[in-house]
Amino acid sequence: MLFSRRLMLGLAMASTLAFPAMAEGPTEIDLFFPVPVDGKLARDMGTMIKEFNETHPAIKATAVYTGSYDDTLIKTRAAIKAGKPPAAVIMSANFLLDMQIENELTNLDALIKSDGSTKEQFLGQFFPALQGNAVINRSVYGVPFHNSTPLLYINADKAKEAGLDPNKPPQTWAELTDWAKKLTKRDGDKVTQWGIAIPCAYDYCGWMMETLTMSNGGRYYNEEFGGEVYYDTPSMLGALTWWNDLVYKHKVHAPGATPGPAVSTSFISGNAAMMMLSTGSLTYVRDNAKFNYKVAFIPRNVRNAVPIGGASLIVPAGLEAEKQKAAWTLIKWMTSPEKSGWWSRATGYFAPNMAAYKTPEMVDFLNKNPDAKTAVEQLDVAKPWFATYKTVPVRKNLEDEVMLVLNGKKQPKEALVAAQKAADETLKPYNETSLKLP
């Protein structure tokens, strides 16, 4: 009997040592993902994760839809606070600085080193314009996944009807204003077709204000320090004044603050002849427009310049080592040239991994869809996305005031003075501690 018990115990131990993976099963991880633009992004994410699980049997990843970029930040922080962080998150690229300040991110340097790579080699895969929102204090905290720049979309058929050449899109604000005037149609006092539509809702509004301010030669924030924004400045005043003039002086842009989906719907339906929107909506436009369209650089007043948008993959803080390793495997797979290119073709975001554009599938796709090149070409003038301490509240300090302007309740100067005052107050705790003011 004693012999039998020892034998059984030995067999059990041998079985455990020989087949640890079978005994423990796959490492289960969650990926939080937002859907910030139009289209079938959620379905595409399901397709991508299904393929990952089929090719990586030691890991079982589950994609968890988390709403907008702002919602995703809130839910990720709640999960970290509850001690149950997701293994990976597709996080708005400009939230990383705030999360790093709050110790909510995993520094990825050690994971990169464990692969036998250097930070420079790892980052060298991605377009240089994206690195400003991925690297903080010379350490890597995010991996570019789906990124964007704002584009000017033009209904080419309506442009031709108005005597405009869609192959020579407006290059400056003055030219864009002229185009918008010619493309606006009225029936008495009623506007039947707007010349231009620009989105303004939480998140999108701040990005568009940064776009216009940069095009006007200015800056939105201090790129070297998370405690300063430049709302009450001549360059931002010029940007908001031009936007306000499109609405109330030239009457070529609908009054009110319009969310991104309403802008794309207006363009698709023919209610707006031009729009400024993310390249992330390009596939949606391509699949749904019943007319010929063109995409172009954002017109300038002073210079051609646009902010980076979109999201990076992050690993939240507080994750156990096994899940952290599994998350890193998932992140590297999702950002490989092949998957990066597939995601770009499916969604309209450009592929951050430069090698994606050398794959046969991408070369063939771009030959058939040259409009997908514009956002990549615009990267030559792209700069990092607005990122500060308390990014969302500081951004909303401005967005609340811009909405009042577009709704006809404030003038641009009055609004920007109020936005600056509110943002300075929001940033005050960080400045007082990080600068160690006397």
Residue 9, C-beta contacts closer than 8 angstroms, at least 6 positions apart: none
Which tokens hold the place of 268? 């698709």
Tens of pLDDT, residue by residue, the chain (438 residues): 333 444 444 444 444 444 444 457 999 999 999 986 666 788 899 999 999 999 999 999 999 999 999 999 999 999 999 999 999 999 999 999 999 999 999 999 999 999 999 999 999 999 999 999 999 999 999 999 989 999 999 999 999 999 999 999 999 999 999 999 999 999 998 999 999 999 999 999 999 999 999 999 999 999 999 999 999 999 999 999 999 999 999 999 999 999 999 999 999 999 999 999 999 899 899 999 999 999 999 999 999 999 999 999 999 999 999 999 999 999 999 999 999 999 999 988 899 999 999 999 999 999 999 999 999 999 999 999 999 999 999 999 999 999 999 999 999 999 999 999 999 999 999 999 988 766
- DSSP per-residue string spanning 78-103: HHHHTT---SEEEEEGGGHHHHHHTT
List beta partners, residue 144: 312
Cβ contact 31:63 at 8 Å: yes
Cβ contact 219:212 at 8 Å: no
- Residue among 380, 382, 311, 387 nearest 146 (CA): 311
- The pLDDT of residue 438 is 61
Q: State the helix-helix crossing angle for 412-434 and 234-248, rounded to 10 degrees.
A: 150
- The pLDDT of residue 12 is 42
Cβ contact 170:273 at 8 Å: no
Sign of CA dihedral 270, 274, 276, 277: positive
Which tokens hold the place of 97? 């600085």
Q: Alpha carbon of 420 to those of 19, 212, 230, 415: distances in Å?
A: 62, 17, 7, 9
All structural domains of the chain: 27-147+309-368 (3.40.190.10), 150-306+388-435 (3.40.190.10)
CA distance 159 to 66: 39
CA distance 305 to 252: 24
| Amino acid making up residue 247 | V
- What are φ and ψ of residue 256, in 5° steps? 95, 165
- Intra-chain end-to-end CA distance of the chain, in Å: 80
Q: Alpha carbon of 145 to those of 74, 158, 266, 343, 354: distances in Å?
A: 20, 35, 29, 9, 12
- The pLDDT of residue 377 is 95
